[in-house]
């Protein structure tokens, strides 16, 4: 997997990660009930496209670790350094 682009929404921190295998979103909004969760494509209202597969999550994280962004590198590094997030996703 390779990251093609990375963006941050102005909603309080939703990340959009575009890869060669699809688009993933990470909910970083403080007031959200799905904070820290990853979704394949834009999050559906019923959360049915939440990524619950550790292997897919790991592939996205690994690909993002290889990606460099002049504009968003601080956001990327901060998120990658919060690997406590994995225990929240996959208890």
- The pLDDT tens digits for 34-47 are 888 899 998 898 99
Q: Give the domain extent around 54.
A: 3-89
Bridge partners, residue 40, by sequence: 24
Q: What is the tally of structural domains in the chain?
A: 1
Low-confidence stretches of the chain (pLDDT < 50) are 84, 87, 91
Residues 36-43: contacts with CB within 8 Å, 24+ apart? 36/85, 36/88, 36/89, 37/89, 38/89
CA-nearest of 67, 88, 85 to 76 is 67
pLDDT of the residue at 88: 52
On whether the CB atoms of residues 11 and 25 are closer than 8 A, the answer is: no
DSSP state of 50: B
């Amino acid at each position: 997997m390779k990251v093609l682009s990375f963006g941050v929404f102005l909603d309080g921190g939703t990340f959009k990660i575009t890869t060669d295998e699809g688009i993933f979103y990470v909910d970083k909004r403080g007031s959200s009930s799905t904070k820290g969760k990853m979704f394949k494509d834009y999050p559906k209202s019923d959360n049915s496209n939440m990524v619950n597969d550790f292997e897919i999550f790991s592939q996205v994280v690994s690909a993002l670790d290889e990606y460099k962004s002049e504009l968003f590198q601080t956001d990327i590094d901060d998120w990658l350094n919060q690997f406590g997030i994995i225990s929240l996703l996959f208890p």
